[in-house]
Amino acid sequence: MLHNFGSGPAKLHKSVYDQLAQSLIDYEQTGLSILEVYHRTTLFEAILEEATQLCKELYQLDASKEVLFMPNGATWHFNLIAQNFIHTKAAYIHSGNWSKKAYDIALEYGKADIVASSENNHFKSIPVIEQDLSAYDYLHITSNNTDVGTQFHSYPNGSIPLIADMSSDIFSKPIDSNAFACIYAGAQKNIGIAGASLVIIDKDFLSKTHKHIPNYYQYNQWVNNKSIMNTPPIFAIYAMLVNMRWMKAMGGLEHMHIQAKEKAKLLYHTLDNSHLFEVYARKEDRSLMNVCFSMKETSLHNSFMHFAKEAGIIQIEGYRTVGGFRVSLYNAIELASVQHLCDVIAAFDHIPR
């Protein structure tokens, strides 16, 4: 049996795979594959409507929020956020590789500043803001940092709009959606498969969209066209819908959060009590989604990688600029798989050397 702890594209639950597989052959007993469903039909309208309503239900969104299902991943939104909403200058919190990419892209469209950074401790913690942000158009954060294994467990409060890239912890816990002007996420971790993205955006914030950029890049135009500005990634959106059905059936985001804490607690406890491994992130900022760690003796890295692979554990390589190991604990990862990994870590720890 394989235990896939990949950071994305990530594992989905088997029941989701089963339904997706059936839809490829015969979608809802229509005789059509989901791959040939036309986007201007009631078939796709029903998919989009149910997906929108499920997202609103899972996050308890009120009438002030719009939900969009868009093509591409989060990197596209690095561009769109800056294009749409930088009028004077934007503020970015630098907590790892992806926050830096978002910031660098923002500079292509206007002025932006890094207002807090944890680069000085190699991103082992979440940065703290210590300055007035009232002169900025918005504050951008990366809520979970897959490369270093840190996560915001509370969010910055302030008078300016808060925007979050939640690609790697979307749908992993309940949040106060009213704290955010915009949330966006690539689908391939906790939502579905690669090729689509989710946006939750405040209607009032939409009014601040630049009007001089092409229509295709304006979020309000995507709202006006109900997420259909061109042929959408229908199968990817359907995968998001099926996965949201599964999350709801499992007990919603409260249940996902309980499971996430249980899985992370088990793995962190094992690593903290190991003689050979050490966790990368500071304890109070450790991610519930991505556990990053390394060998105290780097010469044992390849030996453990082989040992884990022999035990059916795959895709635990660390991010390429960080090294070590990275175990992703997204919603579909079962506690039994985490327990198996912990047993393998303990066994390797006790091999006589």
Could you list the active site residues? 98, 165, 189
Which tokens is 196 given? 């689509």
332 φ/ψ angles, rounded to the nearest 5 degrees = -80, -10
3-state secondary structure the chain: CCEECCCCCCCCCHHHHHHHHHHHHCHHHCCCCHHHCCCCCHHHHHHHHHHHHHHHHHHCCCCCEEEEEEECCHHHHHHHHHHHHCCCEEEEEECCHHHHHHHHHHCCCCEEEEEEECHHHCCCCCCCCCCCCCCCCCEEEECEECCCCEECCCCCCCCCCEEEECCCCCCCCCCCHHHCCEEEEECCCCCCCCCEEEEEEEHHHHCCCCCCCCHHHCHHHHHHCCCCCCCCCHHHHHHHHHHHHHHHHHCHHHHHHHHHHHHHHHHHHHHHCCCCEEECCCHHHECCCEEEEEECCHHHHHHHHHHHHHCCEECCECCCCCCCEEEECCCCCCHHHHHHHHHHHHHHHCCCC
CA 244, CA 240: separation in Å to the nearest integer?
Answer: 6
Closest C-alpha among 261, 272, 264, 281 to residue 345: 272
